Chain A
Amino acid sequence: MPGGLVVGLTWLVVCQLVGEVLVRLTDVPLPGPVVGMVVLLLALEVRRRRGHDTDRDPAVRAADGLLRHLQLLFVPAGVGVVAYLGAIRDEALPIVLAVAGSWLLGIVAIGWTTRLLERGERAA
């Protein structure tokens, strides 16, 4: 469908805008795009309940396209880190140990807790 991409991207940007406005109105401690994600999720659920095939929605197609190259969008922020490599040299040891150690404990904590609780829920 010609114009489908622009229509789809428009939906995504409008959802982000709604998210930003909601954040400002409610002071919820979240970034606008995360609230926008919830807005789009609710909109898609409503459309599915009304019998639409949401896989053919322009917003869904645009989202699939953007997410296929999600890593590209993080490159600018990552390049910004290069500027900090010099600044953290003095305290590199505590930073590397604390950040890597905490990351490892966090990922295992979430993985194991979920597994444990999910088994409990299935058994109940």
Chain B
Amino acid sequence: MRDVVESPVFLMALTLVSYRIGLSVRDASRGHALAQPVLVAIVLTGGTILALDVDAATYADGVQVLSFWLGAATVALAVPLHRQAARLKGFVVPMLVAVPLGVVVSVCSVVLLARWTGAGEELVRTLSPKAATTPVSIQLSETAGGIPSLTAALAICVGILGAVAGPAVLTLARVTDRRARGLALGGVSHGIGASRALAEDETEGAFAGLSMGLTALATSLLLPLLLAVLL
């Protein structure tokens, strides 16, 4: 049985069935924020492989097919943006100011909060690029002297936080413009935030995808400067 449990076909089936259950939970709860299919699927799949004692590397190898398509899906974010291209008019300046400003706020606040709560320097450096999309945050963590795999895990966590709580926080903060909401979600919660934004509204999703790209670029350029000043 061991070889079945560690085979790609079992691990893929487990992941797909968990995701399918996640979709049903979302529909059954009439779109409750916590019932994000990604979160339900992670809990079910993660719990099962822990219980069956399958190690993380074996799982990652088994579901490589899924991870592969994430790149093409990122390319695909051009499509909602293309449909919304007319709505970019008059929005370029706010976007080019707000997104880099968001990067500065994200990096400075995570560094200062971590230091105040007693984190060591390596951990502070690991946390600093967490708002950038995962592949970029891994690279940045490495150059900044952090632990890249931990940065990746934290980037996923802020993504899920955005998918679960982002729209509610934006509504509380009275940000109602779909473009502004998308920029904010993509700027702090990258692709996972964009996946929730897309489920809410196409405009929101389009701007979240765009914001994810701009945030990756701005974080890459600003992070070395900010860390030099802050540390």
Contacts and interface: CB of A to CB of B under 8 A. Distances in A.
A93 to B, nearest CB: 6
Given A71-B36, A111-B184, A112-B175, A36 B74 contact: yes
Interface string B39-81: 1011001100110000110011001101101111111111111
Contact of A98 (B42, B76, B117): B117
B25 interface: no
Nearest to B147: A87
A53 B23 CA distance: 32
Interface in A44-63: 44-45, 48, 54, 59-60, 62-63
A33 B46 contact: no
Contact of A115 (B139, B175, B211): B175
Contact of B113 (A70, A72, A84, A102): A102
A37 B76 CA distance: 7
A13 interface: yes
Interface in B67-121: 67, 69-82, 85, 90-91, 93-95, 97-99, 101-102, 105-106, 109-110, 113-114, 117-120
B152 interface: yes
B209 A99 contact: no
Nearest to A19: B75
Contact of A33 (B71, B85, B123, B220): B71
A103 B114 contact: no
B18 interface: yes
B123 to A, nearest CB: 6
A107 B188 contact: yes
B162 A107 contact: yes
Contacts of A88: 150, 153
A79 B157 CA distance: 11
A94 B184 contact: no
A114 B180 contact: yes
B82 A114 contact: no
A76 B60 CA distance: 6
Nearest to A20: B71
A64 B183 CA distance: 20
16 contacts: A9-B72, A12-B76, A30-B213, A34-B74, A37-B77, A66-B69, A67-B77, A71-B163, A72-B37, A72-B38, A78-B41, A81-B46, A82-B46, A99-B158, A103-B188, A113-B97
Interface of B: 15-16, 18-19, 22, 36-39, 41-42, 45-46, 49-50, 55-56, 59-60, 63-64, 66-67, 69-82, 85, 90-91, 93-95, 97-99, 101-102, 105-106, 109-110, 113-114, 117-120, 123, 127, 130-131, 133-136, 139, 149-150, 152-154, 156-163, 166, 169-170, 173, 175, 177, 179-181, 183-185, 187-189, 191-192, 194-195, 198, 205, 209, 211-213, 216-217, 220-221
